[in-house]
Chain A
Amino acid sequence: MSIIVFTENRGGKLKKSSFEAISYAMNIAENTSKPVVAVSVGELGDDELSALAKYGAAKIVSVNDPAWKSNDSQAYTKLMAEIAEKENADTFIFSHSNEGKAIAPRLAVKLKAGLITNITGVPANFSPLTIKRKTYNGSAFQLMKIKADKAVLTINPNSCDVVEKPVDVNIEKFSPSVAGDGATKVENVDVVTGKILLTEAPIVVSGGRGLKSGDNWGMIEQLGEVLGAGLACSRPVSDEGWRSHEEHVGQTGKIIAPDLYIAVGISGAIQHIGGVSGAKVLVAIDKDKEAPIFKYADYGIIGDAFEVVPRLIESLQKFKA
């Protein structure tokens, strides 16, 4: 039996979450003696694919075919089932990303596998597979156990370690017998490229209503730039149109788990915290010492953002120099 990892790519590059998924699979592999097979769908060169072997994927099944562009979850499920049979797989690892969430539950039904989503840590037990997942918007965790002979798992980005375990690479070009052009017809794509993906960013700088207006975001962008960070905001900020909806984090926006989250002028409502409680370190800058955000923060500065942020940028520039 083998373990299959579904990898994801963007702009010709593998996503960091794919390496996390490989590392997750390697952890199971070492405890169950099953080989790890990575699946890649997309136009990736062998050099890029080889990066997967650095984390332990000894075999890579690559579907590099323009017919597989539309990202139809029904077709992808059939593809994964076909590869599962070929590789004799019983464990399937996805990222808990838009793509992973679209395919993994379908695959679980198709293969009659037990499904555990929203995973935040390595297995507590390998036989039967027992894993901790996030629930109640980060207010709690839940242990789940697989009862079926097969398991499908989705791992939260930025919540499990990436470990280097280099192996020799074996890339197999695969032509599936199932059709890739499914029922979903992509008519138009509108992508803002070049930006740091919020869900993958190790550092995120975020602004709230305390900043008063979208015109005041220059210093947030600058703070983001010195840190190489992704940018986020609270819901009212995106509702007001101060910032794009892409940046909205929280229960109703994106859910992120960076190493460092810096909240500026954000009060820390429970629905906001629901999107960022996975952050390893939370810094809050707010002028109100009673703001609930300080209950969740590791480091806090009570002060006027318009004075503190420029000063912090200077300190960081000094530190980076």
Chain B
Amino acid sequence: MKILVCLGNVPDTTTKIRFDGEMKNLATEGVQWVINPWDELALTRALEIKEGSGGKIEKVSVVNVGKADAEPTIRKALAIGADDAYRIDADPSDAYFIAAQIAEVVKNNNFEIIFAGKESSDFNGSAVGSMLAEFLDIPSVSAVSAFDFPDGKVVLKRDIDGGKETIGIDTPFVTIVQKGISINPRIPAMRGIMMARTKPINVSQPVAVDTLVEYETFELPEAKAECKMVDPENTDALVDLLHNEAKVI
């Protein structure tokens, strides 16, 4: 069996978000690009599952829809331990487009377990994983916080309102992962970094897809008014402000 992990290439989570003059694009000067945090955790878990599977999982691949400037991020995934990578050479600006491209990679290479993250930390769409599953007409399980593979059988835990569900599922399927899937992301070791240089990145051209949405301008939130300080001895004053001014209690 083969696992595919979807890999978003996103600005580091501490990036100061600014846009160009027309408010159409992120101002990318000085931005550090990283593996989308959920995808890094997904990859970590996928590798653990492969290692513990007694050979049942033959390989873990990663896929990215992106231009050549995403390759350092892909190389990092290879250094962490992915066996090989697919890159669809296109601007990753739309979830529907991205999912359609990844669906081609899955179909052409017979992946049976596909990991996607809960959301990309730039676009926050929470869309690509589920869209991918629908393109492939296979099941998807969202909000997955644990993935176990006892005796070659998949057992997932999914978060529901106020609790968790344990779920059994047959392959193929898409799992959309979140907090808990693994705790700390694996860090590339020197040996991994050396090996990553020789691992293949298969680059392909995108298939044509209809445009169903259009992206207009970005906006920054309004500047917040100065914080009103309340005397720590006078909590009555805070209650009064919350009741009479903010009207939230």
Taking Cβ atoms with an 8 Å cutoff, the residues of A that contact B are: 10, 15, 71-74, 77, 96-98, 101-110, 112-118, 130, 132, 134-148, 154, 182-193, 195, 197, 199, 202-203, 227, 245-246, 248, 251-253, 259-260, 270-271, 274, 277, 280-281, 283-284, 294-304, 307-308, 311-312, 314-316, 318-319
B139 near A277 with CB under 8 A, answer no
Contact A302 B126 (CB under 8 A): no
Q: Which B125-147 residues have C-beta < 8 A from chain A?
A: 125-131, 133-135, 137-143
| Interface CB pairs A-B, < 8 A, 17 | A108-B212, A117-B126, A118-B124, A142-B215, A143-B216, A185-B169, A187-B166, A188-B165, A190-B165, A191-B160, A191-B162, A191-B163, A299-B228, A299-B246, A304-B232, A311-B235, A319-B236
Complex: how many Å from CA A139 to CA B224? 12
Q: Which 4 A-B pairs have the closest CB atoms?
A: A303-B232, A191-B163, A143-B216, A102-B142
- The complex places the Cα of A15 from the Cα of B162 at a distance, in Å, of 13
Count B interface residues, CB 8 Å: 78
Are B232 and A251 in touch, CB under 8 angstroms?
no
Q: Which of B127, B135, B249 is in CB contact (< 8 Å) with A117?
A: B127
B219 close to A284 (CB less than 8 A): no
> Quick check: B211 and A147 within 8 Å, CB to CB?
yes
Contact between A299 and B179, CB atoms less than 8 A apart: no
A147 to B94, CA, bound (A): 13
Measured in the bound complex, the distance between the Cα atoms of B213 and A188 in whole Å is 39
What is the distance, in angstroms, from B175's C-beta to the closest C-beta of chain A? 11
B134 in contact with A298 (CB, 8 Å): no
Are A260 and B219 in contact, with the CB atoms below 8 A?
A: no
Determine whether B238 belongs to the interface, using a CB cutoff of 8 Å to chain A.
yes
Q: Which residue of chain B lies nearest to A191 when distances are taken between CB atoms in the complex?
A: B163
Contact A102-B140, Cβ < 8 Å, known A73-B130, A298-B227: yes
Interface residues of B (CB under 8 A from A): 13-14, 17, 19, 37, 95-96, 99, 121-131, 133-135, 137-143, 155, 158-170, 173, 176, 179-180, 210-221, 224-225, 227-233, 235-236, 238-239, 241-243, 246, 248-249
B58: min CB distance to chain A, Å: 23
Q: Other than A105-B128, A136-B17, give 18 A-B pairs with Cβ distance below 8 A.
A: A98-B159, A102-B143, A105-B131, A115-B212, A117-B127, A142-B215, A143-B215, A143-B216, A143-B218, A143-B219, A184-B141, A187-B168, A245-B180, A280-B248, A300-B228, A302-B229, A308-B232, A312-B239
Give the one of A132, A136, A142, A280 with max B CB within 10 A: A136
* Contact residue among B127, B155, B166, B239 (Cβ-Cβ distance under 8 Å from A315): B239
Residue of B nearest to A294 (CB): B227
CB distance from B109 to the nearest CB of A (A): 20
Across the interface, do B219 and A315 meet the contact criterion of CB distance under 8 Å?
no
Are A301 and B229 in touch, CB under 8 angstroms? yes
- Chain A residues near B123 (CB-CB < 8 A): 135
Chain B, residue nearest A202 (CB): B248
Instruction: Name the residue of chain A whose CB is nearest to the CB of B171.
Output: A183
Q: A10, B161: Cβ atoms under 8 Å?
A: yes
Q: How far is the CA of A302 from the CA of B228 in the complex (A)?
A: 11
Assembly CA distance A112 to B134 (angstroms): 11
Complex CA gap A107/B170 in Å reads: 22
Q: A145 near B139 (CB under 8 angstroms)?
A: no
B225 cross-chain contacts in A, Cβ below 8 A: 298
Taking A141-B221, A260-B248 as contacts, is the C-beta distance between A185 and B167 under 8 angstroms?
yes
Q: Give the docked Cα–Cα distance between A186 and B140 (Å).
A: 13
Say how far A254's CB is from chain B's closest CB, in angstroms: 9
